[in-house]
Every structure is written in C-alpha cells, then in structure tokens.
Structure 1
Amino acid sequence: MKGRDVILGILRNKPRTGYEINDILQNQISYFYDGTYGMIYPTLKKLEKEGKVKKETVIQEDKPNKNIFSITDKGREELRKYLESDKVEEVFKSDFLMKLFFGDDYLSKQKVIELIKSEIKVKEDQIKRLESSLEHWELQGISNLQKITVGYGLAEYRAVVEYLKEQLKKLED
C-alpha cells in the first residue's frame, strides 16, 4: 500500500482538504497505516499532475485560501486496481519487541517489567481512543467494512494486552 492509494481511498466518497486528509490519517486509520502530514501535499501534487485528483481553490476572507481535493475518474480507476490487486505481505515494526528480543544480556528484570507495563499502557490508551473514535464515527455514518477494520484493531490491541499481562505476572512471580 502506498500513500497515493491511501489518499485516493480517503477521497473516494467526498472532496477533502489536506487538513481533513491528515485528520483521517491520524485518527481513523493510524492503527493500520503510518502516514505522515509531510507526505500528503507532495502526493496530492503528484496525483493532480497525473490527473487523478483535481484541486479547487476556495477564496476566503481573513483566512488563507482553502484547497479542496477530489478524486477523478482516472483516480477511481487507480484505486479500483489497487483494491483488486493481490494482497502484499504486511510489514510490522515494533521498537518494544526489538528491545525485548535483543535485551537478554542488557536489560534487568526490572527494566523488562517497566517496558511491558509501559507497552500495556500504550495499548490500553489505543483501545480507549479507538473505542471513543468508533462511537463518533458511528454517529457520522461509518460503513460495515470500516467497522470491521476498527474491530480488527481493537481485537489485536486487546489480545496483546491480555498476553502481556500474563507474561508480566510470570515475571513478577
């Protein structure tokens, strides 16, 4: 999955500003896509040059002009091709797991316990944020497929918390 696929997906149902695209990246899909604010405008510019999005500039008084981006038929075709393409192997990265994996000779038992407790807190915070966001998105009209992705994220986070709590108990005993 490339940033361009994500942006075309975000624009599939309605035109949006760069700010709105970033909001979706950071709040709605951040648990399965690591997008940055810095990739949005270069990607939009490239997609616009390729005729896959179009930009409408709205003149505003007392504010900077607002650029609103919408997907074109060429953009919809690229999105369709991406959605129908073969699934690519997922990439998972975790600084927490790297520290544990290589920490045998370097980390004290207390440091490992602190790392695990910290990771549990991070995951519990992610669960709370996702549950709260889900309530908000349901009021806005989230689709059934989007609910599946949120449920997947919640199930993953909850399973990790449960597993880490079991391992923490073993270490503390």
Structure 2
Amino acid sequence: MSTQKGNTKKSGGPKYKNSSAFRNDVHDTSWKTKQINSMEITGLCSRCSDVIAWKIKYKKYKPLTQPKKCTKCQQKTVKHAYHIICIKCSTEAKVCSKCGESGDVVKSPGLSPSEQASMDSQLQEELKMLPERKRRAFLRNQELGLYEEKDKDKTVEDDIVDEDVEGEEVYDGEKKDDHIS
C-alpha cells in the first residue's frame, strides 16, 4: 500500500492473523523465565503494575543484576527492575515504588519467603509450649478466621490470656452459656 496522499483506503482485513495468543514460556524454559513469571508485583500503583505485568507477559521484562540506588534514602536497596524507590521507603512514605507518586498502592509488599518461614517456625514453637486444650482452641479459632492481620504483633500466649481474661469460651461462634440451656 502506498503512502501517497489520497491513497489511504484499505481493502479487507489483515493478511495474516495469529491463531493463538503469545505465551512467553513456550520456547524458553529457563529458570530466569520461570522466576520472572512467578514474581509477585507489589508496592505499585495500578498503572505501574499494569506496565510491569505487560512487560512480563510479552517477555520485555529484564531483571536487575545489581541493586540500584534508592532516590529517597540514597542506599543501594532497590532490588526490582524499573523501580526507583526501595520497599522500605515506599511503605513508609506510602508511594509507588516505580513512579514515586502518592496515591492508591494496589498491593503493598508482604513478608519475604525467609521472613514468612521464620514467623511460621516461631508460631509452631509457641504452639508446642501451649497445653493441648489451648492449642486446639487456638487452631480452631484460626480456622474460623477469628485471628486476622491486625493482631500479627501479638503472640499466641497474648491471645490465650485475652480469652482467659474475658472469661467466655467460644463454641461455634456463640457463647458456651447459650448452648447449655
């Protein structure tokens, strides 16, 4: 088709059409590609998270080989590609790690896998120290969803002590006294 003025009319659709969508892990099964695909996008605004997700989806994401310098604290603590602010500074200032704008951060960063493993092992050690009755009560209440994210700084013993102070035992979400009658 010529780009000549007045000759811009197209006839028909595209000559070739993709029969299937692009997948970035079809021909490349390296550990780096698997690591990039399994990466969790956190600490970004909705626009920046969409940009990073697009880069990952179409194999344009290039991870960092060396940590970058944070623009807030001037330390080499930025470990994610395309970010300009480290996780610590972005959570303190409540800004996007990529663009630096304050606003709605879609998903705030959580614990790293090593920190999560240490927290789980600490919880298991505390549970071993509890009597059987209190351990089962804690696990039952945890399954029911009575322990939430807001109480993460409290220990298991603090939760049990709080239940003992209140003097009420919970039986399937209701007070035990209500079932006796």
Q: Determine if the TM-score, normalized by the shorter chain, exceeds 0.5.
A: no
TM-score range for the pair, normalised by the shorter chain length:
under 0.3
Higher fraction of strand: 1
Bigger relative contact order, structure 1 or 2, given CA contacts below 8 A and separation 6+?
A: 1
Question: Which is greater in Rg?
Answer: 2
TM norm structure 2? 0.22
TM-score (normalised: structure 1): 0.23
